Amino acid sequence: TMKISSMPLLAGMLAATMTLSAWAEAPAADAPAAAATASDAPLQQVRDKFFSTWEAHGNFYAVDPKKLLFQGSFEGMMFTEDGGGLMDGADIVCAVTQEFDLTSNATQAVGKCSIDVSDDDTIYARFDCEGQPGMCDGEFTLVGGTGIFANISGGGNYRSRTQLAELAAQLGSNAVVGSAEGIAVWSSVKTCLK
């Protein structure tokens, strides 16, 4: 079991989020919710930027002489950049498959996530990313939800920083990751609620 500190990584990613372009939040609708019917209710658009520190748990498998596959989970808490919004403080769990090519130093990952805002309100999302060791850039898509998020749609940019690639090279094949830390940033987020 290896624990990797993410404090320098966290500080760097927080600085990076300050330089990314953010969308302004849309103003609230002027009409009271009770006056609108389901058919004429406007789409509520929420634009924001989120970050999450997370902990990875899982296994590395040798799938080729120079390729390792990580299967496991990323678990953490999402925060909005400005400290507000529906998803600020939500718990996030992602089932992740990530491949590491030890020859080309390339990586690609797919994650399927649940973002738990409350016991009744959950958002389901997916991310796809690729990159070099320590950095995975891509997109995420909101695929559905429950409660107030039942009709959610949208997505944005996704960036993950982790030391899993370095850990893969150190541990080698067929190793268990008890705990490794990282950070993710979601930027240019556009969320539509009906």
Write out pLDDT tens, residues 150-187.
999 999 999 999 877 677 667 666 777 767 889 999 99
Q: What share of the chain is helix, strand, coil (3-state, %, to 5)?
A: 15, 55, 30
pLDDT of residue 45: 66
pLDDT of residue 44: 64
Per the rule left: phi > 0, alpha: psi between -120 and 50, beta: everything else, 35 is alpha
Place of tokens 């008890």: 178
pTM score, whole prediction: 0.74
